[in-house]
């Protein structure tokens, strides 16, 4: 039996929690964005500022926060599912090598868990930096060291700052999800193919397969 007794005993007594450092990185971003929006909120009643600029800036921040929040949730779920999904990626690494007659690689594992490994971290860090700068700019404006015109110009630029970060995270996670779907499809196809071959080669079940399988699949078996 391939059982690590100390690990078994630890899990039995303490349970097991799987996570990723990327979750903490993303949570820092969420906190920074929340703080920035809270700093902007009181400015909506200022008469010396264009309210539409404030509203648009808050919309940008809230959109970024929504992306960060959903992304952190996705990354946390990936990490929690790493034993099951990791087993699937390892299996598909072997399938791809066998089917394509190439050396086995870690491609599927790296691709399925790219966000868990930190592929979104740079985007999170950039958003955190922009959010912190925004909070500082609000403080500068309130202290009088930043004029309303310069402040509004800065707020108007937030969309251009955050858009590449939001798009980058969304694209990475979308690509990751596509890889996972492909992995699951390959595992299913492999399982079915092996079951079909086993039943086809059994004299008791070959007639059943000959009756139910489509002709093109039967042609591949004979």
The Cα 124–Cα 33 span in angstroms is: 11
> How does pLDDT run along the chain (222 residues), one tens digit per residue?
889 999 999 999 999 999 999 999 999 999 999 999 999 999 998 888 999 999 999 999 999 999 999 999 999 999 999 999 999 999 999 999 999 998 889 999 999 999 999 999 999 999 999 999 999 999 999 999 999 999 999 999 999 999 999 999 999 999 999 999 999 999 999 999 999 999 999 999 999 999 999 999 999 997
The Cα 140–Cα 151 span in angstroms is: 9
Domain membership flag for residue 16: no
Work out the end-to-end distance of the chain between its first and last CA atoms, rounded to an integer number of angstroms: 39
Q: For residue 29, give every residue at least 6 positions away whose Cβ sits within 8 Å of its Cβ, in sequence order, or none.
A: 68, 124, 125, 127, 128, 131
Would you state the structure tokens that stand for residue 8, as one six-digit string? 């078994």
Residue 90 is predicted with a pLDDT of 96
DSSP-derived secondary structure letter, 147 = -
Domain membership flag for residue 73: yes
The Cα 105–Cα 130 span in angstroms is: 38
Residue 209 is predicted with a pLDDT of 96
pTM exceeding 0.75: yes
Residue 31 is predicted with a pLDDT of 98
3-state secondary structure of 113: coil
Q: Could you identify the residue written with the tokens 């700093």? A: 39
Residue 108 is predicted with a pLDDT of 96
Domain membership flag for residue 6: no
Report how many domains make up the chain: 1
Q: For residue 139, give every residue at least 6 positions away whose Cβ sits within 8 Å of its Cβ, in sequence order, or none.
A: 39
Domain membership flag for residue 12: no
Domain membership flag for residue 5: no
Domain limits at 103? 21-221
Please, are residues 108 and 96 in contact by the beta-carbon 8 Å criterion? yes
Domain membership flag for residue 11: no
Would you state the structure tokens that stand for residue 146, as one six-digit string? 């930043």
């Amino acid at each position: 039996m391939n059982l690590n007794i100390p690990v078994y005993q630890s899990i039995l007594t303490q349970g097991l929690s799987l996570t990723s450092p990327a979750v903490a990185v993303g949570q820092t971003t969420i906190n920074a964005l929340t703080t920035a929006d809270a700093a902007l909120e009181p400015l909506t009643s200022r008469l010396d500022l264009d309210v539409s600029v404030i509203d648009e800036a808050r919309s940008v921040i809230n959109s970024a926060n929504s992306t960060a929040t959903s992304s952190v949730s996705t990354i946390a779920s990936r990490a929690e599912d790493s034993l099951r999904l990791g087993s699937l990626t390892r299996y598909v690494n072997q399938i791809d090598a066998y089917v394509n007659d190439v050396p086995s690689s870690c491609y599927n594992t790296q691709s399925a868990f790219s966000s868990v490994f930190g592929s979104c971290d740079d985007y999170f860090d950039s958003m955190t930096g922009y959010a912190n700068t925004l909070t500082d700019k609000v403080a500068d404006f309130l202290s009088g060291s930043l004029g309303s015109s310069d402040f509004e110009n800065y707020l108007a630029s937030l969309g251009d700052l955050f858009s590449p970060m939001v798009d980058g995270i969304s694209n990475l996670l979308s690509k990751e999800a596509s890889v996972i779907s492909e992995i699951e499809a390959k595992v299913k196809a492999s399982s079915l193919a092996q079951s079909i071959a086993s039943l086809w080669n059994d004299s008791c079940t070959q007639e059943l397969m000959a009756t139910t399988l489509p002709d093109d699949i039967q042609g591949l078996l004979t």
